[in-house]
Amino acid sequence: MADLWIANTVADLIQGDVREHLPLERIPLEGDVLGLGTTTSIDNGELTFLSNAGGDTTIWKCQAADGAIRPLRLGDGSSHFPYVCFSGDATAVRTPVDLDALGPVRGQPLQALVAAAIRLERERGRLPEAPVYGVRLQAHWQSLVITVASKLCMGVQRRNAAMASSEASEATASRSIYQLLQHFRLAPVDPADPSDPIRYLGRSLHWDCCGFFDTEPELGRVTVPVAGAHLHLHGCSTDLCHGGHLHHEHEGSRLAQLERLVLYPLERLHTLASDLGVADLAYSEAELRFRVYNRGSMDVSDVGVAVVIDDCFSSHRYLRLPWLAAGAEERFRLPLPLPEGPHQLEVIADPQREILEAEALQRNNRQRLEVVA
């Protein structure tokens, strides 16, 4: 069976305030690895995982400014991803689709064709049931609209939703996400329409693509959490000029021909997350000592740490860690003279719950200490 690792989710990303990151070096790229994602807020863009001539996988970064692409390499400044999902080497479960059995594809919706291919191969007994299917395809387009992420924080709904409801609901954000991104058009000729908000890129209409078909898109794991939005696909033109998210459902996207379609059943899903904690809280000689650690699998940025004295949060001391890698820790020594008598001291990592941690992982985020000064 093949595995899929999900570092945050699309649902997390479109709600904004993502402070967790997975570095490039933690993604294995040996063999046939499927994946897609989004790059850092400093250098926005989309990630496309494509096979290379050596039989392994290269991640291509698609630029938000002009739709251009370049291969990612360690140390180039774009190697931390707030959202990315990727398989292991899925060579063993690779299932090529008999394209003749799909019938005519010209002008057909791509998502419907992929869904039909999954049904066909399952009926033939060649494809097991899976929650998510990896997809590789090569296609010619009559015309194609792509989007590239140019704005990572789509809102602050996650933080607000913990306290109040809003007409700008999660569903609204999900439906409008692609309206917020930079759009580009590939077509045989330039429409030359000054009122067209979609920028014309050129005639590169042959594309190599990688993505996922989620059987439960409402969960927002690898696609926008909207019913019926099963297919999330990134790609690059085969002339290596352009790349991005294929807006295959856009009225301006019209398929000409499928050259190749391969499916990969991904039966085991794994969630990657950070896990902040506070430990070794001690007080002596007017000094507070403690450490903040990250036992998770995601790096975190801009982490707040509050030191609260006698449950009086309005006068708390506040620290901020610019970065805490997975497996790392920071030790602190804080001068803290106290009036004579008994006191309660509490240290809280991420007091505003800005880090995406499951409730069970939040229990170690704070530690209390009773002291007598």
Q: Tell whether 151 and 229 lie within a shared domain.
A: yes
Q: Give the DSSP per-residue string, 319-342.
A: EEEEEE-TT-EEEEEEE----SSE
N-term to C-term CA, the chain: 59
**Farthest-apart Cα atoms in the chain, separation:** 84
Task: Check whether residue 283 and residue 230 sit in a common domain.
Answer: no
C-alpha to C-alpha distance for 321 and 82, rounded to whole angstroms: 17
CATH number at residue 172: 3.30.1330.80
How far apart are alpha carbons 170 and 340 in whole angstroms?
Answer: 50
Q: How many domains does the chain have?
A: 2
- Residue-wise pLDDT for 300-324, tens only, equals 999 999 999 999 988 889 999 999 9
In this structure, are 297 and 261 located in the same domain? no
Residue 338 to residue 284: CA distance in whole angstroms: 11
Q: Do both 25 and 68 map to the same domain?
A: yes
SS3 12: helix
Distance, C-alpha 245 to centroid of its chain: 13
CATH number for 340:
2.60.40.10
| 199 in Cβ contact with 116 (< 8 Å) | no
Q: Are residues 249 and 281 in the same domain?
A: no
Count other C-beta atoms under 10 Å from residue 129's C-beta: 10
CA distances from 9 to 27, 154, 219, 272, 273 (A): 16, 14, 9, 10, 10
Q: In the chain, which stretches have pLDDT less than 70?
A: 16-17, 40-43, 76-78, 150-180
Q: 51 and 110: one domain?
A: yes
Number of H helices, E strands in the chain: 4, 23
Q: In sequence order, what are the beta bridge partners of 335?
A: 287
> Where does a domain end: 220, 249, 272?
272
For residue 156, give both structure tokens.
Answer: 């602050």
Residues 176 and 303 in one domain: no
- What pLDDT, on a 0 to 100 scale, did the predictor assign at position 62? 92
Distance of CA 122 to the CA centre of its chain: 29
Q: Would you give the DSSP letter of residue 29?
A: -
Q: Tell whether 280 and 236 lie within a shared domain.
A: no
Residues 311 and 239 in one domain: no
Spatial contact of 90 and 32, defined as CB atoms under 8 Å apart: yes
Listed residues 272, 306, 323: the one ending a domain: 272
* Closest CA relative to residue 65, chosen from 238, 252, 242: 242
Predicted pLDDT of residue 42: 64
111, exposed or middle or buried, with CB in 10 Å at 0-12, 13-18, 19+? middle
- Structure token pair of residue 332: 């602190």
Q: Do residue 30 and residue 140 come from a single domain?
A: yes
**Model confidence over 157-207: pLDDT tens digits?**
444 555 444 444 455 444 455 566 789 999 999 998 888 889 999 999 999
How far apart are the C-alpha atoms of 283 and 334, rounded to whole Å? 9
Q: Which of 272, 294, 311 is a domain's end point?
A: 272
Residues 233/58, Cβ–Cβ less than 8 Å: no
Q: 168 and 126, same structural domain?
A: yes
Same domain, 45 and 160: yes
Q: What radius of gyration, in Å, describes the C-alpha atoms of the chain?
A: 24
pLDDT at 278: 98
Complete DSSP assignment for 118-144 = HHHHHHTTSS---SEEEEEEEEEEEEE
> Which structural domain range is residue 324 located in?
276-372
